[in-house]
């Protein structure tokens, strides 16, 4: 519903860059605050929004209302880290998706295009199957991160091995390596004897934000913010890279430096997101497309807005995942696909010409 609102609220494309960006930032920030507050207040324990706000304000030295200790614990130690991790993951996937679509000049590109997601997943699945994930509580995310970034570099190395870089080679290498990693995951699943381990693997593959702690925030936050910041800073070069290497080169982009930099930044933040949340599908594909329909294709607008849009999308999906069949939960990755796919198709049919053009 909130997303449908986004498409209705359509600042004119002709508006100056700054005004478009400003309007988008204000709208999406407001939406994010709203979704976060609703998320913090809902769950097995109902906490009034006023109490939630008071709990957040209290450490800042502002006393707004009385609340009980349980409410404070639930908000600060259970719901808040989970929501912050969700928002960070959404930011990472939204920005990485926008970046990959621009770098590859391909509307089907998403953060997983060069094998980052499947590489991270394969490493995580192996860690779960071998019990390595139990060494210490961050072992699983660290394995996944190493797998994701390792895979990205492997794919890039394959693509430049011939001495001549081409986007098509990169995508094809990514497809091949992803298929290989997918086979590896299937092999592990088939080979694992214990039901509990298997369940752990499938859980992780569906992507989820349950029991995320502040440690996951500290693990993922800095890298996602730095990587995202790099991409925001070079968003203009991304515009030019969309025009092709020669155009980018003749308009002042050092293609041989900028492409690996942007690819690395996008891969790292995707890897971090996969590491702390598993495979949350579809965010990186549809968030950029949705925002592009409203705000146009300029990456200087699109990159910051897809960070916020991704955050809204994942936090909202997680809220639905937590509440729709409460007290049980669905996996957030399932929710993103369940809402995302039909909504994307709706947009696709409504705006098919404009989506086709990317």
> Site residues (CB under 8 A) for other proteins?
13-14, 16-18, 105, 164, 233, 236, 239-240, 242-247, 249-254, 292, 296-298, 354, 357-358
CA 303 – CA 123 distance, rounded (Å): 29
CA 332 – CA 19 distance, rounded (Å): 34
207 contacts 89 by C-beta, under 8 angstroms: no
- Other C-beta atoms closer than 10 Å to the C-beta of 314 total 34
Q: Which is nearer to other proteins, 101 or 151 (CB)?
A: 101
CB of 13 to other proteins, least distance (A): 7
Q: Which is nearer to other proteins, 14 or 66 (CB)?
A: 14
CA 355 – CA 333 distance, rounded (Å): 24
Q: What end-to-end distance do the CA atoms of the chain give, in Å? A: 25
CB of 16 to other proteins, least distance (A): 8
Q: Which is nearer to other proteins, 117 or 231 (CB)?
A: 231
Q: Which is nearer to other proteins, 127 or 248 (CB)?
A: 248
Q: Which is nearer to other proteins, 196 or 246 (CB)?
A: 246
CB burial string 135-162: b at 16+ within 10 A, e below: eeebbbbbbbbbbbbbbbebbbebbeee
CB of 226 to other proteins, least distance (A): 17
What is the number of alpha carbons within 13 Å of residue 176 lying toward its C-beta? Answer: 11
CB of 153 to other proteins, least distance (A): 23
- Other C-beta atoms closer than 10 Å to the C-beta of 341 total 14
Q: Which is nearer to other proteins, 83 or 241 (CB)?
A: 241
Q: Which is nearer to other proteins, 99 or 336 (CB)?
A: 99
Q: What's the token pair of residue 88?
A: 């960070």
CB of 296 to other proteins, least distance (A): 7
CB of 348 to other proteins, least distance (A): 14
340 contacts 333 by C-beta, under 8 angstroms: no
CB of 242 to other proteins, least distance (A): 6
CB of 157 to other proteins, least distance (A): 20
Q: Which is nearer to other proteins, 198 or 243 (CB)?
A: 243
């Amino acid at each position: 519903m909130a997303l449908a609102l986004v498409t209705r609220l359509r600042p004119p494309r002709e508006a100056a860059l700054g005004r478009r960006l400003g309007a988008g930032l204000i709208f999406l920030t407001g939406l994010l605050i709203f979704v976060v507050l609703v998320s913090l207040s809902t769950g097995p324990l109902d906490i009034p929004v006023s109490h939630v706000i008071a709990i957040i304000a209290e450490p800042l030295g502002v006393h707004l209302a009385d609340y009980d200790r349980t409410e404070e614990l639930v908000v600060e130690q259970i719901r808040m880290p989970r929501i912050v991790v969700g928002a960070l993951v959404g930011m990472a996937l939204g920005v990485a998706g926008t970046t990959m679509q621009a770098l590859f000049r391909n509307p089907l590109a998403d953060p997983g295009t060069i094998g980052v997601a499947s590489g991270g997943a394969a490493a995580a699945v192996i860690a779960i199957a071998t019990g390595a994930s139990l060494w210490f509580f961050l072992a699983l995310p660290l394995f996944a991160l190493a797998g994701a970034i390792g895979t990205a570099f492997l794919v890039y190395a394959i693509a430049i091995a011939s001495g001549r870089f081409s986007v098509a080679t990169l995508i094809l290498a990514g497809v091949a390596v992803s298929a290989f990693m997918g086979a590896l995951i299937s092999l592990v699943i088939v080979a694992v004897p214990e039901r509990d381990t298997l369940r752990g693997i499938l859980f992780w593959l569906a992507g989820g934000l349950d029991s995320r702690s502040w440690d996951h925030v500290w693990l993922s936050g800095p890298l996602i913010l730095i990587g995202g910041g790099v991409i925001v800073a070079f968003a203009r070069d991304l515009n030019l890279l969309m025009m092709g290497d020669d155009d980018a080169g003749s308009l002042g982009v050092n293609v041989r430096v900028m492409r690996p930099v942007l690819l690395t930044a996008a891969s790292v933040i995707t890897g971090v997101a996969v590491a702390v949340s598993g495979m949350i599908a579809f965010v990186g594909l549809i968030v950029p497309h949705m925002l592009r329909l409203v705000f146009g294709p300029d990456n200087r607008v699109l990159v910051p807005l897809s960070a916020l849009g991704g955050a809204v999308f994942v936090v909202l999906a997680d809220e639905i995942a937590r509440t729709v069949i409460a007290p049980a939960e669905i996996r957030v990755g399932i929710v993103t696909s369940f809402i995302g796919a039909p909504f994307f198709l709706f947009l696709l049919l409504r705006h098919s010409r404009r989506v086709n053009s990317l």
